[in-house]
Amino acid sequence: MSRLIVNGQPVQYRLDPRTPLLFALREASNLTGAKYGCGTGHCGACTVHVDGQAVRSCQVAIADCEGSQVTTIEGLAANRAHPVQQAFLAANLVQCGFCIPGMVMATAALVDRGQASADQDIDGALTNICRCGVYPRLREAIRTALQARGGPVQAAPQAAPAAEPAPVPEPPGAQPGDEIVTPTE
Ligand code: FES
Ligand code: FES
């Protein structure tokens, strides 16, 4: 028997201890948000949090999660209130949706740690596969979520403020009201 805390609730799985966490969550706990994509640890569709870390649940046995806190997309936040969920909604990011629970969980772990700031950080840390290609909007959503969390964000380049024109020196002997002609090139 394997004892875990799943979305805040104690759970005992009477399953083969080698059972992948993904199968236990989906088939024994009826938590079907995490998806079976590749089954080989590559796509990230099965991502959940184990003790706060993003984990590909098809690759970890329930015996290895003994006593751990497991969070699935269903338990991430009430009413989709996590900044990542809000940012995904605001960016209208979802296409077919298959990868999205895993994307949200992987992104949430990244944002909650506040580590990604530049596109290279995001691309390096988030290796989930989306066959619909939502990656450009995903980066925007991550920046938005980081800002909502108060984490580091690479500021968009700002245009330099326009310089005030230098005052034209008055020629010697000029009187108030005299028109001053500025030489042009
Ligand atoms: S199903 Fe787990 S990484 Fe693809
Ligand atoms: S939204 Fe379709 S696979 Fe990512």
Question: Which CATH number covers residue 46?
Answer: 3.10.20.30
Please check whether residue 172 lies inside any domain of the structure: no
Please check whether residue 6 lies inside any domain of the structure: yes
Non-local CB neighbours of 174 within 8 Å, separated by 6+ positions: 180
Give the domain CATH number at 96: 1.10.150.120
Task: Read off the pLDDT of each residue in 41-58 and give the average, rounded to a whole number.
Answer: 97
The domain in which residue 95 lies consists of 78-154
Question: Which of the four pLDDT bands, split at 50, 70 and 90, describes residue 159?
Answer: very low
Average pLDDT of the chain is 83
Relative to the CA of 131, which ligand 2 atom is closest?
3
C-alpha triplet 95, 98, 99: angle, nearest 5°: 90
For residue 91, the ligand closest to its alpha carbon is 2
Q: Which two tokens stand for residue 106?
A: 């992987």
Judge if the beta carbon of residue 135 lies within 6 A of ligand 2.
no
User: Which contiguous run of DSSP H or E holds residue 107?
Assistant: helix 100-113
| pLDDT of the residue at 125 | 77
Non-local CB neighbours of 52 within 8 Å, separated by 6+ positions: 69, 109, 112
The Cα–Cα gap between 183 and 147 comes to 49
Judge if the beta carbon of residue 91 lies within 6 A of ligand 2.
no
Task: Read off the pLDDT of each residue in 137-158 and give the average, rounded to a whole number.
Answer: 69
Please check whether residue 134 lies inside any domain of the structure: yes
Residue to probe by mutation, ligand 1, list 55, 56, 100, 128, most atoms within 8 Å of CB: 56
Please check whether residue 181 lies inside any domain of the structure: no
| pLDDT of the residue at 116 | 64
Q: How far, in Å, from the CA of 38 to the mean position of ligand 1? A: 5
Residues 91, 136, single domain; the answer is: yes
The Cα–Cα gap between 111 and 179 comes to 61
pTM above 0.85, yes or no: no
Residues 107, 69, single domain; the answer is: no
